[in-house]
Structure 1
């Protein structure tokens, strides 16, 4: 079995869970990170182990430095040297226009969608970069097509946070390109996951899907395939790149 070790944040459900399962099938040892949904995350890890893979579930709020430190220390001790990071954890809130947003909501969105990926990427670089004695690796950020579209009247704050991830991807990719680390982003569009319920419209994908060029919403497994491609040697000459998995939107 491969000694590749991947951390997938927010992997108890949706795109994160699909990515964890696919990574395990590809031979990765998987850390399933979660913040609150312990039962779901433990089920993902248990399913991987039942299928013959290696996985642990670790609770940590990735927007908090101390918890990120503990998360990475647990991976070091239980799985070995990290070789891949998928920054997937994120959130959105009730659909709203920008002029109705408040400071508390913005703070929550920035913490989950920007601070978390920055903190995790920093820890990953310290482990994977040849500058620190590592053997290289790959980081894939899960962005959003919203960073291009703006999400007016619904999630301008979410879209802006994902725009920050686009910028971080380019900047970090250039910082560590000579240190054996590739940094890329997958930007999903309308995907059938539970995140839409957080915005108050669980059926949002079904409402919007008929207007998409491909006429349907996407599945988490379709996004996972793009993520695993960017983690793999098949994309060895790609860094600072973006793959949109958005049905043509």
Structure 2
């Protein structure tokens, strides 16, 4: 069976590493991005240089029309979508609740939650046996922040990931009998483009590493390999699960 994987937020970080490794495993890969055009095309070039097939497709996860177009264009170019990784996400500057601005919170939920849910909707319309599809697998990228409310100043971000977890569990039950498996992965601290600015502040990297039982920050490829396992037939009896890829969680 041919495998077509759509990855939102696939131009950088965990999404990009998942795309490269998926291409090497025989997936045809559609890489979505919002503004990282050069990076997305570089990931495509890496996949094609290794003998794989990939395309880069722009689209803003806060815009429903972009999401629908993204799925349509991916299928026209690569064939029916069989796998989806919802990796797109934003983590705005940190602050307490008394510092929140409505516009920031609205956009945070629009990208991290509503956009993800709409992607799952579009995938279901294509994958579900109820709609004539042949099934598929979806992985939603959550965060360990969902389990404890995040580190200081990250309560809003943590709330979006808590919503992702709750949605994943309910959604998985809704479509399990229709051939679709849905799971979430909850990374702990991982060095990516989104986190490196904060982690590279003096003393922060060492402090965060010390708060983990494994005593180090994760690497993007470690999360990517776990995502690809959840997508694979090796995880064929797993749906509605939350996989913590976190170095043991937090030391409380």
Aligned position for 2:65: 66
Shift of 1:196: 2.0
1:243 aligned counterpart, secondary structure: strand
- Contact kept? 1:6, 1:31, Cα under 8 Å: yes
In structure 2, list runs of 5 or more residues that go unmatched.
none
Aligned counterparts of 1:187 and 1:44: Cα–Cα separation in 2: 24
Shift of 1:108: 1.2
Aligned position for 2:10: 11
Aligned position for 1:225: 225
- Contact kept? 2:3, 2:83, Cα under 8 Å: yes
Shift of 1:194: 1.5
1:109 aligned counterpart, secondary structure: helix
Output one character per residue of 1:78-102: Cα deviation in whole Å (capped at 9) or x when no partner.
0000000000000011121122111
Output one character per residue of 1:192-223: Cα deviation in whole Å (capped at 9) or x when no partner.
1121257x554444431122110000000000
Aligned position for 1:140: 139
Which structure 1 residue ranges, 4+ long, deviate > 3 Å from structure 2? 200-207
Alignment of 1:33-182 (within 5 A): 33-182=32-181
- Contact kept? 1:3, 1:28, Cα under 8 Å: yes
In structure 1, list runs of 5 or more residues that go unmatched.
none
Aligned residues: 247
- 1:207 counterpart = 2:215: no
Output one character per residue of 1:16-37: Cα deviation in whole Å (capped at 9) or x when no partner.
0010011111110000100001
Aligned counterparts of 2:62 and 2:116: Cα–Cα separation in 1: 8
- Contact kept? 1:190, 1:205, Cα under 8 Å: no
Aligned counterparts of 2:247 and 2:42: Cα–Cα separation in 1: 30
Computed over aligned residues only, the root mean square deviation of the Cα atoms, in angstroms, reads 1.2
2:85 aligned counterpart, secondary structure: strand
Shift of 1:63: 2.0
Output one character per residue of 1:86-132: Cα deviation in whole Å (capped at 9) or x when no partner.
00000011121122111111011101100110111000000000000
Shift of 1:153: 2.4
TM-score normalised by L of structure 2: 0.95
TM-score normalised by L of structure 1: 0.96
